[in-house]
Amino acid sequence: MAVQRRNEVEIKYHLGKDLTSFDKYRQLVEDNGFRLIDKRFETDYLPDTVDDLCKTSKILFRIRETKNASSNNLLLTIKTRRNTENALDFYEIETNLNSIDQDTFDYISNRLDNITGIKLSPMLLQVQDLDSAIEILQNDGYKKTRILLDKYREEYKSGREKVMLDYFPSRMGAYMEIESHSLKHLNGVIDRLKLSDREKVTLDYGDLLKEFRKDSPPEKQRTLRFTKNQMKTLFRIIQNV
């Protein structure tokens, strides 16, 4: 299987503090031709070495666990950021750990080995949950957690363009993320939705988390998870896709 590469250009907008902030924006995106395709939990885990070799090499290394009404998946991703004004612009390589995609897994593993001196363990291709993946990565030398962050996501799509409504724990807030393959098409979606620059956010979610938790103890500044009761409530929403 050929290694899958893609460009990802995105922008975020702050919607409010709680899940009710979604209400008017759901209608907005549907009125502009976007169709709901999924509701799911996502947990992003960004590991690094103790001396921050991924961060200093400007590589975002991520395992994302996704859970919807019918499936659980683990996505392995590396991203490099490009310099683009007024948007986040990434070159991304990603594979589903639950699929048979040895080529992409090996490519990512070799890329990380060149940066950190640590190859990915083949055991990652057999894991079924994020906790198991984290244990393997930490045992192999990725001891540091850059980010461990939950969110609830509703994904809408129109052609190649996507709009995501994202909600985070502990009143970190609700956001809209618009994603496209080029800045031109991204700006086209912004124009369609007539969004206000006042709510525009050019930080990624990791930086937003660090800003939100800057007054927390150091060991908690990089982690934000839903409680079990919150998960139960949100999963009832997910089951009503």
Q: Which domains does the chain have, with CATH numbers?
A: 5-238 (2.40.320.10)
Q: Is 18 helix (H, G, I), strand (E, B) or coil?
A: coil
Q: Is residue 46 within 8 Å of residue 62, measured between CB atoms?
A: yes
What confidence tier does 1 reach under pLDDT thresholds 50, 70, 90? low
Question: What pLDDT is stored for residue 2 in this prediction?
Answer: 66
Q: Is residue 222 within 8 Å of residue 146, measured between CB atoms?
A: yes
Question: What pLDDT is stored for residue 22 in this prediction?
Answer: 95
Which tens digit of pLDDT belongs to each residue from 127-173? Answer: 999 999 999 999 999 999 999 999 999 999 999 999 999 999 998 99
Q: Is 232 helix (H, G, I), strand (E, B) or coil?
A: helix
Q: State phi, psi for 207 to the nearest 5 degrees.
A: -70, -35
Rounded to whole angstroms, the Cα distance separating 188 from 169 reads 31
Q: Is the pLDDT of residue 6 over 80?
A: no
In 10 A of CB 100, how many CB atoms?
A: 10
Q: Is 140 helix (H, G, I), strand (E, B) or coil?
A: helix
Q: Is the pLDDT of residue 83 over 80?
A: no
Q: Is the pLDDT of residue 241 over 70?
A: no
Percent of the chain topping pLDDT 90: 75
What confidence tier does 79 reach under pLDDT thresholds 50, 70, 90? very high
- Angle (CA) 150 116 79, round 5°: 45
Question: What pLDDT is stored for residue 231 in this prediction?
Answer: 92
Which tens digit of pLDDT belongs to each residue from 166-222? Answer: 999 998 999 999 999 888 999 999 999 999 888 899 888 999 999 999 999 887 889
Q: Is residue 15 within 8 Å of residue 173, measured between CB atoms?
A: yes
Rounded to whole angstroms, the Cα distance separating 193 from 190 reads 5
Question: What pLDDT is stored for residue 95 in this prediction?
Answer: 93
Exposure class string for 113-139: b at 16+ Cβ within 10 A, else e: eebbebebeeebbebeebeebbebbee
Strand-pairing partners, residue 224, are 149
Question: What pLDDT is stored for residue 3 in this prediction?
Answer: 75
Rounded to whole angstroms, the Cα distance separating 87 from 178 reads 10
Rounded to whole angstroms, the Cα distance separating 38 from 32 reads 18
